[in-house]
């Protein structure tokens, strides 16, 4: 039987034609009960994009660029300007700023220094060494994209392994699977998994977070703040990261050696070689710290108001708060309405000219970012907008999740987490979030009564839960960029990732279900209801 490589020229063309044919069948087939004609065309566009995203026949960003063309060709939008508005969404610029800020950190090896410092301080035993690598990776992934963090940490992890087991003993994919040491497997898998878990912690940590924030803003007009996400994401990171570490190092791949003193010393030598931070590097660190601080402060209007006025006795005008945090009232500038100087997208964009004015980076340093991910965001937002405008998301949500209307909260969360993790293993976490999050937003109106909250609160809760779950697919390289990068390094076999991933997928489905349900009852009320 002849097998066709899906990424070969003929395979790409064949897959593209299949996607186009399916889009035509859905778009021009029998009317779908309860769905408008434009909604049916939007659904056809989703089918086209989903086939290409799932198969990976062409780059994800290229598929994303075809979405506004199809939406306009089908007549979902009267002109392409409306279809392209998703590519100018403000959250896209937040990620552009985040990527550029990460480039500045990497230019001066600040992220590498942080990782080496943690490893040198904590890596006294094999398990602690792996834990130190995972903590460093997760911490960096909260502020630098998890893709960039994994790309930076994988060579460091391999260098550490060379000191632990000997450079000649570090195995490659072509070697016999039985010859791989447990410490090599657990170290590399731990690096990938920690990057995914750490990315959950902040709004800029991983693309699915930005996808859900953009969809909530577009469909509900709800802006989830940086601090609000941190309140939800950070506990998940703190609880799940040790579980992943324990499963890898105690149950699946316990290290078979006891002495890691050479590796710890190597980390110290690497750190010493970096030397002290120069003046420019310190300025980058200050700008990064200020940006992170303002991101958090921007979501703390209530506590800050209480501190300044109740505790310190400062009587500040409403115009001051409107200027700082946004609102419809008059500002200190004498105009009505303001986004707020501490709005997290604006704060992120402050950092870029600050880096240039501080004489730390040039444009050549900033422009080399993941533009493919940026374009993928734009296409996903354009598709989500079209689904919302045509009622297609509500139609899908009602059709698929009707049986959950009388289910307990625990069962609803379990169904969402299980669905997202399963889909992510077949596609990628960004593609899954792009496809499913708009459906989860519309599901809010269907399940609001069951959850006992207003539709908007239900939509936000379900969408954020779905975005979180999208980062917990561990079994296949395609599921997340960290998985793909570590597998692509050539020092891990897919059977190793499958073994660990299947176990962790099952375990994390249960852990996330319990954790998200607990957050629903004890944390979300302070944010939404």
pLDDT tens-place string over residues 152-181: 888 888 888 888 776 656 777 666 656 788
Please tell me the predicted confidence (pLDDT) of residue 178.
Answer: 62
Nearest-angstrom CA–CA distance, 362 and 290? 20
The arithmetic mean of pLDDT across residues 205-222, rounded, is 88
Structure confidence at residue 343 (pLDDT): 86
Overall average pLDDT of the 219-233 stretch: 89
- The pLDDT of residue 381: 80
CA separation for the pair 242, 198 (Å, rounded): 12
On average, the pLDDT of the chain sits at 87
pLDDT for position 286: 95
Q: How confident is the model at residue 19 (pLDDT cuts 50, 70, 90)?
A: very high
Burial of 129 (0-12, 13-18, 19+ CB in 10 A): buried
Residue 127: Cβ within 10 Å count: 19
pLDDT reported for residue 266? 79
Q: Which of 142-156, 158-172, 208-222, 448-462 has the lowest mean pLDDT?
A: 158-172
The answer on pLDDT for 258 being more than 80 is no
Give residues with Cβ within 8 angstroms of 144, minimum separation 6.
98, 102, 105, 106, 111
Averaged pLDDT, 453-476: 93
pLDDT at 177: 58
Dihedral angle at the C-alpha atoms of 460, 462, 467, 473, nearest 10 degrees?
170
Domain ranges of the chain: 1-81, 108-276, 281-366
2 pLDDT above the threshold of 50 = no
Average of per-residue pLDDT across 490-496: 87
pLDDT of 504 reads 97
On the question of pLDDT at 4 being above 60, the answer is: no
Q: How confident is the model at residue 309 (pLDDT cuts 50, 70, 90)?
A: confident
* Nearest residue to 237 via CA among 205, 200, 185: 200
Lowest mean pLDDT segment, chosen from 51-65, 283-297, 440-454: 51-65
Most confident of 26-35, 206-215, 234-243, 417-426: 234-243
Q: Is 225 helix (H, G, I), strand (E, B) or coil?
A: coil
Residue 439: predicted pLDDT: 86
The burial of 76, by beta-carbon neighbours within 10 Å (0-12 exposed, 13-18 middle, 19 or more buried), is given as buried
Q: Give the pLDDT band (50/70/90) at residue 1.
A: very low
Q: Residue 3: what pLDDT?
A: 52
Q: What is the pLDDT of residue 396?
A: 75
Model pTM score: 0.83
Asked whether residue 490 carries a pLDDT value surpassing 90, the answer given is no
pLDDT band at 461 (very low <50, low <70, confident <90, very high): very high
The encoded tokens of residue 153 equal: 């940490």
């Amino acid at each position: 039987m002849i097998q066709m490589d899906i990424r070969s020229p003929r395979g790409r063309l064949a897959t593209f034609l299949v996607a186009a044919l399916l889009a035509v069948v859905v778009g021009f087939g029998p009317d779908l009960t309860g769905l408008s004609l434009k909604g049916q065309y939007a659904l056809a566009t989703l089918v086209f994009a989903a086939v290409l995203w799932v198969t990976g026949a062409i780059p994800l960003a290229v598929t994303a660029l075809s979405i506004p063309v199809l939406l306009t060709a089908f007549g979902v939008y009267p002109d392409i300007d409306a279809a392209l508005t998703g590519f100018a969404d403000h959250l896209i610029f937040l990620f552009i700023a985040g990527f550029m800020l990460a480039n500045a950190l990497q230019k001066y090896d600040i992220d590498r220094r942080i990782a080496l410092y943690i490893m040198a301080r904590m890596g006294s035993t094999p398990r602690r060494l792996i834990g130190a690598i995972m903590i460093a990776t997760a911490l960096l992934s909260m502020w630098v994209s998890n893709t960039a963090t994994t790309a930076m940490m994988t060579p460091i992890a391999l260098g550490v392994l060379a000191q632990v087991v000997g450079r000649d003993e570090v195995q490659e994919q072509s070697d016999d699977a039985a010859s791989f040491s447990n410490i090599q497997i657990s170290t590399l898998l731990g690096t990938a998994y920690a990057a995914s878990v750490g990315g959950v912690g902040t709004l800029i940590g991983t693309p699915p977070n930005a996808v859900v924030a953009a969809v909530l803003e577009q469909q509900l007009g709800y802006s989830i703040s940086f601090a609000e996400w941190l309140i939800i994401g950070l506990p998940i990171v703190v609880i799940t990261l040790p579980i992943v570490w324990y499963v890898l190092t105690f149950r699946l791949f316990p290290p078979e050696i006891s002495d890691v003193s050479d590796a710890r010393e190597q980390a110290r030598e690497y750190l010493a070689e970096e030397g002290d931070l120069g003046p420019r590097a310190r300025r980058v660190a200050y700008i990064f710290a200020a940006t992170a601080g303002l991101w958090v402060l921007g979501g703390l209007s209530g506590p800050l108001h209480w501190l300044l006025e109740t505790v310190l006795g400062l009587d500040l005008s409403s115009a001051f708060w409107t200027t700082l945090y946004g609102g419809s009232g008059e500002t200190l500038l004498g105009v009505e309405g303001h986004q707020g100087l501490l709005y997290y997208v604006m704060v992120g964009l402050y950092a870029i000219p600050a880096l240039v004015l501080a004489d730390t980076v040039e444009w050549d340093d900033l422009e080399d970012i993941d533009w493919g991910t940026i374009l993928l965001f734009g296409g996903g937002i354009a598709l989500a907008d079209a689904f919302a405008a045509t009622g297609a998301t509500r139609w899908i949500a009602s059709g698929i999740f009707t049986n959950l209307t009388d289910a307990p909260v625990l069962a609803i969360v379990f169904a969402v987490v299980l669905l997202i993790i399963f889909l992510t293993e077949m596609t990628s976490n960004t593609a899954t979030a792009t496809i499913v999050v708009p459906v989860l937003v519309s599901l809010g109106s269907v399940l609001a009564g069951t959850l006992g909250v207003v539709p908007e609160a239900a939509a936000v809760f379900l969408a954020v839960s779905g975005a979180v779950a999208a980062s917990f697919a561990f079994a296949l390289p395609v599921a997340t960029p960290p998985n793909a990068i570590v597998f692509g390094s050539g020092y891990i076999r897919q059977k190793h990732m499958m073994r660990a991933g299947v176990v962790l997928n099952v375990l994390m489905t249960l852990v996330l279900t319990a954790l998200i349900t607990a957050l629903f009852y004890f944390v979300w009320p302070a944010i939404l209801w």
